[in-house]
Amino acid sequence: MRKYQTNGTLESVICNGCGKKQVVERGILREGSFSVHYSWDYFSEKDGEIHHWDLCEECYDQLIRQFAIAPEIEEAVEFI
């Protein structure tokens, strides 16, 4: 879960899985985090809802170990 200051600067990130507070310095997240911002649409029971959540890297790893089909992973050739 992300919190922002009134000026839009990132203030804190807390893992929705384990509750760990992640390191944020001067508005920049300083560790690995998986962020979800998903707008549910037609044909779902959540139509019209927008879900936001964050996972620390450890919780993300636990989540994908439960998948029947592993996510595709490719190496980034450029970092922006």
Range of the domain at 60: 2-65
72 within a domain of the structure (yes/no): no
74 within a domain of the structure (yes/no): no
d(CA 58, CA 22): 12
d(CA 10, CA 5): 6
43 within a domain of the structure (yes/no): yes
Q: How many domains, the chain?
A: 1
79 within a domain of the structure (yes/no): no
17-32: pLDDT as tens digits: 999 999 999 999 999 9
7 within a domain of the structure (yes/no): yes
**Residue 38 backbone dihedrals phi, psi, to 5 degrees:** -125, 125
d(CA 15, CA 44): 26
29-79: pLDDT as tens digits: 999 999 999 999 989 999 999 999 999 999 999 999 999 999 999 998 887
Q: Kindly report the pTM of this predicted structure.
A: 0.85
80 within a domain of the structure (yes/no): no
